[in-house]
Amino acid sequence: MTTMTEPRTVVTPGAGRRMWAILGLVLLADALDVIDATVTNIAAPTIAGELGGGAGLITWLGPAYMLAMGVLLVLGGRLGDKFGQRRLFLIGMGGFTLASAVAGFSPDPALLIVARVAQGAFGALLIPQGMAIMTKAFSRELLAKAFGLFGPVLGLSSVGGPVLAGFIISADLFGLSWRPIFLANIVLGVVGLVLAARILPRDDGDRSTVVDGWGSGLLGVTMIGLLYGLIEGSTHGWGALAVGSITVGVAFIAVFARRQRTATHPLITPSLLKNRGFTSGMVVGLAVFAAGSGLLFVLSLFLQVGLHAGPRDAALGMVPLTLGLIVAAFAAMAGLVATLGRRLVVIGLAVDLVGCGWVLALVDHSGTSLGLWALAPAFFVIGIGTGLCFATIPAVALGDAKPDEAGSASGSLSSIQQLASAIGSAVVASIFFHAATSGLDHAMKIGLVVVLAVTALCLPVVALMPRTAPSQPQE
């Protein structure tokens, strides 16, 4: 018996089962990425308390992962094209699993940060291969059905990761405290490796593909310089080290931009940088993703450090926010983006301002005597606003991109999201800890004011973005 999915495409039952097995494997890889990007939001205070490292370790745990992922994400996709997606998927999954083991057994903060960087780097090799493999292996009809599963799975992962981390830490399994949140990846990674070796189609890649390693290196130096300088300045004052680091980062931005204009196969298609709609979308995305990620992180810190909630209670306290984010993202993707376009970004920013202002009023009134339930409605509102923005900005930013620019544009936006998350988590957390010397309620209020200011400044820039998202999904 065979199933006809489209003209001249015949899928046997065995081939169909293999396609769904490939989908399950790709979903596993993406879920691992989402979970590992979010678990340290809850686990960071406990890890720092046991390993030492203080605010510095808390500040870098999440950004180390996201920085490596953002810098190398586009490069990972190009390497897959050159050497074959199957080979890069196996390397990425194996390296991610090994890095997770190192993170779980780390005896000190330095090795843990190195392991987090390695997780992000191997994740950047792993994640881009999944979509490419599915595009080649799936019929067009099955591909559309498969993509419909990504939203629910990744949404559940974003909720489940921090909640699971909170319960694991509170349970103190085998006396290992926080370590199982990383060690669990060993089991999942080995399962993923075995499945990948058995079911992924073999491909040799295209050795003529040009990989711009220099461009990736310049981007890495740029981001490390800027991020380190911003953290150092917001934490210890704007001395020579902070200013010098930012200066290096800015200088390398210019070198990176020149490389993109002169390279034969640049990471970012040069014509995109001349597209006002796309560049304004990147600016808005950078600011909103940074502010949103930073806010999510410091809210989790405030629940644990300021309100003295345990990891499990803090994770549950963040659930209303995450649920709001998921509801809004699904509503946006279900048709609101196509109907409202950039107006939905404005609505999301406005809702975010209301939610942050609500929390600011609560903290100003009650300080650190707040209860978790009192924050739940405001957290849900923040989740709605953040979800609308996160789902809408990348889609609308692609509105003016030409078909031959779509791949570069989409990859650039994915990298921007990761890099912005790294910047926001690190910088807003640094501001929070610097202000904490005057009280944790004061620190939370300063963090909220920073997020409110960045969000408000984005509103006029949205007017420069494309009016609508692309009428057809970009491939």
| Predicted local distance difference test score (pLDDT) of residue 3 | 41
pLDDT of the residue at 424: 87
Question: What are the structure tokens assigned to 252, written together?
Answer: 């390398």
The owner of tokens 């650039």 is: 412
Mean pLDDT of 65-69: 90
- For residue 443, what pLDDT is reported? 92
User: What is the CATH architecture of 13-205?
Assistant: Up-down Bundle (1.20)
- pLDDT at residue 5 in the model: 40
Taking residues 180-186, what's their average pLDDT?
94
- Residues 443 and 436 sit within 8 Å (Cβ to Cβ): yes
pTM value is 0.84
pLDDT value of residue 55: 83
Asked if residue 178 has pLDDT above 90, the reply is yes
The b/e string for 190-222 (b: 16+ C-beta within 10 A; e otherwise) is eebbebbeebbeebebeeeeebbeebbebbbbb
- Hey, which residues does 3 pair with through a beta bridge? 11
Position 6 scores a pLDDT of: 41
Q: Lowest mean pLDDT: which of 23-37, 154-168, 298-312?
A: 154-168
- 349-353, 435-439, 452-456: which has the minimum mean pLDDT? 435-439
Local confidence band at 473 (pLDDT 50, 70, 90 cut-offs) = very low
Could you report the per-residue pLDDT of 242-270, keeping only the tens digit for each?
Answer: 889 999 989 998 898 888 888 877 877 77
pLDDT at position 230, please?
Answer: 82
pLDDT value, residue 4 = 39
Rounded alpha-carbon distances, angstroms, from residue 407 to 76, 267, 272, 401: 14, 10, 11, 10
Express each pLDDT in 421-439 by its tens digit. Answer: 888 888 888 889 888 888 9
pLDDT range class, residue 391, cuts 50, 70, 90: confident
Specify the higher pLDDT residue, 89 or 73.
89
pLDDT digits (tens, 9 = 90+) for 396-416: 888 887 766 666 777 778 888
For range 75-92, the mean pLDDT: 90
Q: What is the CB neighbour count within 10 angstroms for residue 172?
A: 11
Q: Which residues contact 365 (CB under 8 A, 6 or more apart)?
A: none
Q: Is the pLDDT of residue 474 over 80?
A: no
Q: What is the CATH number of domain 272-475?
A: 1.20.1250.20
15-62 per-position pLDDT tens digit:
667 888 888 898 899 889 888 888 888 899 999 999 988 888 888 898
Least confident of 100-104, 159-163, 290-294: 159-163
CA–CA–CA angle 385, 389, 392 (5° rounding): 135
Is it the case that residue 281 has pLDDT exceeding 80? yes
For residues 312-321, average pLDDT: 91
